[in-house]
Amino acid sequence: MTAIIRVGGVGYCAVAALSLAAALSADISFVMPQATVTIDTAAASTPYSPMIFGGFLEHFDHQVYGGVFDPGSPLSDEKGFRRDVIEALKEMKVPVVRWPGGCYVSGYHWESGVGKQRKATDDMAWGVVEPNSFGTDEFVELCRLAGWQPYICNNAGNGTVEEMRNWVEYCNGAEGKYAQLRKDSGYAAPRNVGLWSIGNENWGQHEIGCKPIEQWAPLVLEAAKAMKAADPGIQLSAAALPSREWTLPLLKAAGQYLDYISIHSYWLPLWQKNEMPDYLSCIMHSEGPEKMISDYLGVLDESGFRGRIKIAFDEWNLRGWHHPGFPRKEVQNYADPEVIRLVAEREKSAIPSQYTMADALFTASFFNACLRHAQDVGMANIAPLVNTRGPLFVHPKGIVKRTHFHAMAMYANGLESRVGKLTVRAEAIKHAGKSVSMVDAIATVNESGASWSIALVNRHPDKQVACTVKLKDRLLEGAFAASILSGDSTDAYNDIEHPDRVIPVTATLTFKDGVVNLPPHSLAIVKLPTAK
């Protein structure tokens, strides 16, 4: 399989006589944009949490049923888990997955999804029938198969504190009524679910059981006490708006019991209308995650809990999910033609041409923002992991790795374990009255401080950037191994017919007098094994 890269306006095959490295380090006659990346190799580095590469699954569309779980499929194992999906997600080294919602969880009663005799229930949020064949134990089994840490989000909508506490006992208890229920279901040993969230977006009018902060803060306190009484070893997050007005009362009331504060953002709100903005319109959102995190740190400082409570960015994506007319808060008439039409509209999220190089580079920018704030961001979960807007598209005959799948895999596999100090000076890209830096970068280093891995993002749609890399005061010189993700255009995407149109290629990048030419709309992760 070969990949097509476009450098300096010339398309060529990655295995052709002209190597990628030669193209990137060649002398170019025309003037190109400039950028300078300076790595302070003497500065202290910061460990980051691999949980920033986490995922999210909700009972919505084909994320669970027909996604990770597809009993009867020739691609599934004897328990119904899609083998090809699990293998692909292992490639991404997904460390943690949040489940079961999302808006769905605010109407979900977990006891419906355990035991050997299960009945279908109403999914009020999304207007469909929930078969309950995938519940707590199936989720935990999937996590064990895929190497994920399970992160369960509790029903703080129409659920009760007692229900939350009982779910913890079911999963983690050695004895008690609900521990016995688990044993009767065929699971003698505790499931050891260590991460739990209290609620999902209960601040919003769209949510079942929406609550003002005056009700939310005391509920979180009560729930946290009850859940930690069931298992003192669990870690807890609570849903919050990233605002002073919401966070300060919440942390004042319940902060002593929390390990994370849960925030969400989708930068293109496509809930009701499935627009497909062009590359530059998307890329103008690249610095949104950085601003959101930076602004929120001031709130955490004011609360007095910064350093004690970390941010769980446990729903994020460039594109909001498409679900016109939903979510709702009551049982629907499933035979209503309008309900049927609106549910079918969700299939627009599967249009492959939406997932371009913009999604890949936005993903890289999101991770860079989390890494720059490694002391404060403890977890992030792309929403979702599979289907809808996720990096992995699953269909009955196989999978397609979207552009942002490859960006996520490159970060999860290509970085060192600590974040170094780095500064970027670059020209701006301007579009429709907005602007972002043309180049974004992050530097990571191993424990010894000898080996570095740097991620370089060129956001420009059609121009190379002459990027100078300095290691403190020394210009980087020499040839280094790299993984590069680009495309034959900004609108390049992968689909069933062309699953490998956009894939990473391995190359050797040559830095001459510190300069390397970054392809347009590209992500490069470069290994510097002997940097000092």
Place of tokens 């989390």: 370
d(CA 89, CA 74): 19
Q: What is the pLDDT of residue 30?
A: 52
Q: What is the pLDDT of residue 531?
A: 58
Give the tokens for residue 398.
């196989």
3-state secondary structure 355-400: CCHHHHHHHHHHHHHHHHCCCCEEEEEECCCECCCCCEEEECCEEE
**What Å distances lie between residue 330 and 62, 132, 325, 341, 377, CA to CA?**
22, 18, 13, 18, 36
Alpha helices in 92-212 (DSSP H): 136-146, 161-172, 177-184
Q: What is the pTM of this model?
A: 0.94
Nearest to 454 by CA among 376, 514, 525: 525
d(CA 525, CA 339): 46
Domain ranges of the chain: 4-47+417-528, 50-414
pLDDT digits (tens, 9 = 90+) for 139-158: 999 999 999 999 999 999 99
Peptide bond just before 102 cis, omega within 30 deg:
yes
d(CA 389, CA 271): 12
Task: For the domain made up of 50-414, give the CATH fold.
Answer: TIM Barrel (3.20.20)
Peptide bond just before 131 cis, omega within 30 deg:
no
- Fold agreement between 4-47+417-528 and 50-414: no
Cα 199 to the center of its chain, rounded Å: 19
User: What crossing angle do the helices spanning 161-172 and 213-230 adopt, rounded to 10°?
Assistant: 30
Give the tokens for residue 528.
């510097």
Q: Exposed (0-12), middle (13-18) or buried (19+): which is 258, by Cβ within 10 Å?
A: buried
* pLDDT < 70 positions in the chain: 1-30, 530-532
Q: What is the pLDDT of residue 175?
A: 97
Answer for the pair 476, 470: CB distance below 8 angstroms, yes or no. yes
d(CA 479, CA 198): 50
pLDDT digits (tens, 9 = 90+) for 198-207: 999 999 999 9
> CATH number of the domain at 4-47+417-528, out of 2.60.40.1180, 2.30.29.30, 2.40.30.10, 2.30.42.10?
2.60.40.1180
- Secondary-structure breakdown of the chain: helix, strand, coil percentages, each rounded to the nearest 5: 30, 30, 40
Handedness of CA 495, 496, 500, 504 (dihedral sign): positive
Give the tokens for residue 351.
């249009």
C-alpha angle 86-91-95 in degrees, rounded to nearest 5:
80
Q: What is the pLDDT of residue 17?
A: 30
